[in-house]
Amino acid sequence: MSRQIADYHVEEVPCILIRPSKGWRLINLRELRAYRELLYFLAWRDIKVRYKQTVLGAAWAIIQPFFTMVVFSLFFGRLAKVPSDGIPYPIFSYSALVPWTFFANGLTQSSASLVAGAALVKKVYFPRLVLPISAVLSGVVDFALAFVVLVGMMFFYGIIPTVAAVWLPFFLLLALVTSLGVGLWLTAMNAQFRDVRYAVPFLVQLWLFATPIAYPSSLLSEPWRTLYGINPMTGVVEGFRWALLGTQTAPGPMIYVSALVSLGLLVSGAFYFRRLEKTFADVI
Amino acid sequence: MSGIVIRVENLSKRYRIGSLRPSYKTLRESLTEAAQAPLRRAAKLLRGEAYGAAGLEETIWALKDVSFRVDQGEVVGIIGRNGAGKTTLLKILSRITEPTEGCAEIHGRMGALLEVGTGFHPELTGRENIYLNGAILGMRKVEIESKFDEIVAFSGVEQFIDTPIKHYSSGMAVRLAFSVAAHLEPEILLVDEVLAVGDAAFQRKCMGKMQDVAREGRTVLFVSHNMGAIQSMCQRAIWLNGGKVMSDGVSRQVVQQYMGSASGDSVLYAPQPSRGYTDLIIEKMVLKNSQGQITKTVSSGEELHIEIYYHALKRLPKPYFWIAIRSRFGSLCGANMLFDGACPECIEGRGMIACTFSALRLLPQIYTIRLGIRHQNGINNYIENAEISFAVTGAAQDLGMEGEMAHNFFDDFYCLLVPYAWHLPDGKIVPVNGFHVCQESASPTSDLGMQNGDQ
């Protein structure tokens, strides 16, 4: 008894106030931190389960970008003779497809995460942000696998990365932030209207061609090139090429624009998500 | 260690139950509507408004102005019919959904069990699911690790712990799920009807676990339909009906009130389908207790008087009446004029026939009385299966049950109490339910339980 009382005083007694919320709410980072273990377990579950009962297993993480690269090299590189900033076309496109695949999968998975986790949302409380975040994070493993192949290809083509390679984590983070930002918008909408499920594959496809993956952004002249950074994936893809392959497209103003847009998407997405959060359990 | 840990003030929750769609008159109208609706919804979506916030929807109050306080260490049962708002209340308190109005305050670490096995993934092994489910329920990894062996042992699925649970039988999966849940140790525990899973043996194990939780001085809100469990585990009960608190107080009294209402109307009026014979109508059926008051509840062992008011449209010779008292397991006992040789010579016009059951020793549950009236040939029915229900109230203690598992008695085993005695190896005789022991060595507690004697 006395020990309990001691605990009672030492450990701060959490007090939860439950009341109807009004309007826009802030993101509760402290609470999110408290639920980091759940975040970890959900991401871990996604990774574990993703390639269960498949023949090729984790090879799918590589097949996806690799064969896209093959197709691109054939049609854009060989037949259409699309310029590739003086780099062999296969590695030019693959180095862009690796972060792109991470982004596209993250976006797809996070936008579906809430509906897929409906059973959880209806029966257990946790900050709902955990679901889309863990969905995006679980893609990091696939990214790593595809990245290993990228390194192998660089060996094959005899490309030595420059010191700029230290910036890679930053560009990965940028891809993650973009993916999550858009994912938050879409997943919150998906809870209300399942149209999102049909819109996402379409959106991803359009976005693929709006991003300089099959072609270089150097096709555009300067004011337009910076403006192109409004598509945050432009910054990510060109940043990757610059950091790994040493292309001349050093991240100038374009990257700043991309980073800003990406951050804007994340913050607005998080607010929008928080605003709709209270309705999730009732409408899913 | 006292003080209010849960304070609920005027908590209300409104749900939308689909939209009252305007009926489309013409194809043109419905086409315009179809074209406009997506735009309207999209605009609403971008403004971040809830789906269908417009006045088009029909709404219901799942919970309305519910207020109560719970002190540290109290075990409170929440009872009510389906749709009374019990789960909604738990969902709001566990923050799964927001209230529409009102507020609640919770002091302390809270855990909620609205379902067992939430988040179980069929592709993962038992071991992996324990970790995942534990994390979902709010346990820390170290906490799960330290309790892991206990959880596995409790579930009884040791051999299959590294098998994906899709290969488990559903019973095994449920046992594993409950084991994780049972090892959740918050200061405040909210439990929905999760104990109604698994086989009877496992249910008993779960009830035992719940009792431990209650004994440890934690605060528990416990939703259940098992009135026996509620009465023996909770000092206090809250009865919800239609989203409102009907009663809040000592659990035995609240349960009694609830059971009284749950057994429905004490006066039945239902012209039952009678095959070909429309000559006889049951106008009402009334239940009375030993004091002659119309009632829906009797305590165990009390007298029950059933009055049947009939209206025979013509002279009916030798109609046979039968009555069966039924539990959910089937018929328990009854009275049948066909066998008793007690039928009236004839009936005509309005009249009443009554039947008195003395010392009806039933366990606290809801029972139905089924009535039938047969044609004099003993084969054809005038009236078939007219029903009325009543509740027997009381807790295990009232029946003289003293065993530690007495609380489990009600729903699991049987309904009828008969006097009996245990003859133990040391020659001791333990009489139960007022069994009359003729030896002088027998304990003088032969009136244990029942008053309305055994002969």
Give me the interface pTM, i.e. the ipTM: 0.84
**In this complex, do A18 and B51 lie within 8 Å of one another by their Cβ atoms?**
no
Q: How many CB atoms are located within 10 Å of the residue A5 CB?
A: 10
A25 touches chain B (CB under 8 A): no
Of B41, B50, B96, the CB nearest to A124: B96
Please report which helix (H) or strand (E) contains residue B281, including its range: strand B280-288
Instruction: Determine the 3-state secondary structure of B57 from DSSP.
Output: strand
- pTM beyond cutoff 0.80: no
Residue spans of chain B under pLDDT 70? 1-2, 18-31, 33-34, 48-57, 194-201, 203, 262-277, 395-398, 400, 402-413, 438-455
Partners of B102 on chain A (C-beta within 8 Å) are: 19-20
B128 touches chain A (CB under 8 A): yes
Spell out a b/e string for A219-230, using b for 16 or more CB atoms within 10 Å of the CB, else e: ebeeeebbebbe
**In this complex, do A121 and B131 lie within 8 Å of one another by their Cβ atoms?**
no
- Write out the E strands in B148-241: 188-191, 219-223, 236-241
Q: How many CB atoms are located within 10 Å of the residue B90 CB?
A: 21
- Averaged confidence pLDDT in chain A: 86
**In this complex, do B51 and A192 lie within 8 Å of one another by their Cβ atoms?**
yes
Give the total number of structural domains in chain A: 1
> What pLDDT does residue B146 have?
93
Are the C-beta atoms of residues B77 and B236 closer than 8 Å to each other?
A: yes
The 10s digit of each residue's pLDDT in B415-451 is: 788 888 888 899 888 888 778 876 554 444 444 444 4
Are the C-beta atoms of residues A32 and B106 closer than 8 Å to each other?
A: no
Phi, psi (5° rounding) for residue B145?
-60, -45
**What percentage of chain A carries pLDDT values higher than 90?**
45
Q: Which two tokens stand for residue B388?
A: 């009325």
**A236: pLDDT strictly greater than 80:** yes
Of A144, A148, A136, A142, nearest to A112 by C-alpha is A136
Partners of B136 on chain A (C-beta within 8 Å) are: 38, 41, 120, 124, 126
Best residue in A13, A33, A124, A278 for a mutation probing chain B (most B CBs within 10 Å): A124
Q: Which two tokens stand for residue B175?
A: 């046992």
Cα–Cα distance measured from residue A84 to residue B365, given in angstroms and rounded to the nearest whole number: 81
**A201: pLDDT strictly greater than 90:** yes
A192 touches chain B (CB under 8 A): yes
pLDDT band (50, 70, 90) for residue A13 = low
**A117: pLDDT strictly greater than 80:** yes
Phi, psi (5° rounding) for residue B364?
-60, 110
> What pLDDT does residue B82 have?
79
Of B51, B92, B141, the CB nearest to A279: B51
**In this complex, do B1 and A281 lie within 8 Å of one another by their Cβ atoms?**
no
Are the C-beta atoms of residues B69 and B62 closer than 8 Å to each other?
A: no
CB-defined contacts A:B, below 8 A: 114
**In this complex, do A21 and B94 lie within 8 Å of one another by their Cβ atoms?**
no
Mean pLDDT of A230-248: 88
> What pLDDT does residue B297 have?
81
**A93: pLDDT strictly greater than 60:** yes
Q: CA of A105: how far to CAs of A40, A55, A111, B94, in Å?
A: 18, 20, 10, 33
> What pLDDT does residue B197 have?
61
Mean pLDDT of A160-179: 90
A204 touches chain B (CB under 8 A): no
Best residue in B40, B45, B105 for a mutation probing chain A (most A CBs within 10 Å): B45
Partners of B105 on chain A (C-beta within 8 Å) are: 15-18
Residues 17-56 of B with CB under 8 A from A: 41, 45, 48, 50-51
Alpha-carbon distance B225 to nearest alpha carbon in chain A (angstroms): 19
Residues 70-99 of B with CB under 8 A from A: 91-99
> What pLDDT does residue A58 have?
81
The 10s digit of each residue's pLDDT in B78-133 is: 998 878 889 899 999 999 998 999 999 999 888 888 888 888 888 899 999 999 99
Alpha-carbon distance A170 to nearest alpha carbon in chain B (angstroms): 30
Q: Virtual CA dihedral for B153, B155, B161, B167, nearest 10 degrees?
A: 160
Best residue in B66, B95, B191 for a mutation probing chain A (most A CBs within 10 Å): B95
**A49: pLDDT strictly greater than 50:** yes
**In this complex, do B141 and A278 lie within 8 Å of one another by their Cβ atoms?**
no
Q: Which residue of A has its CA nearest to B137?
A: A124
Of A126, A276, A283, the CB nearest to B48: A276
Give every strand in the sheet of B366-374, ordered side by side: B297-299, B381-393, B366-374, B320-327, B330-336
The 10s digit of each residue's pLDDT in B317-352 is: 888 999 999 887 788 888 998 888 888 888 988 999
Of B48, B96, B103, the CB nearest to A125: B96
How would you classify residue B378: left for phi > 0, otherwise alpha for psi between -120 and 50, otherwise beta?
A: left
**In this complex, do A18 and B99 lie within 8 Å of one another by their Cβ atoms?**
yes
Task: For chain B, list the domains and their CATH numbers.
Answer: 62-262 (3.40.50.300), 267-393 (2.70.50.60), 418-455 (no CATH)
> What pLDDT does residue B126 have?
92
Are the C-beta atoms of residues B446 and B432 closer than 8 Å to each other?
A: no
Domain hosting A99: range is 2-283
A197 touches chain B (CB under 8 A): no
Instruction: Determine the 3-state secondary structure of B309 from DSSP.
Output: strand
Alpha-carbon distance A43 to nearest alpha carbon in chain B (angstroms): 10
**In this complex, do B100 and A15 lie within 8 Å of one another by their Cβ atoms?**
no
Alpha-carbon distance B157 to nearest alpha carbon in chain A (angstroms): 21
Give every strand in the sheet of B4-19, ordered side by side: A15-18, B101-107, B4-19, B57-71
A115 touches chain B (CB under 8 A): no
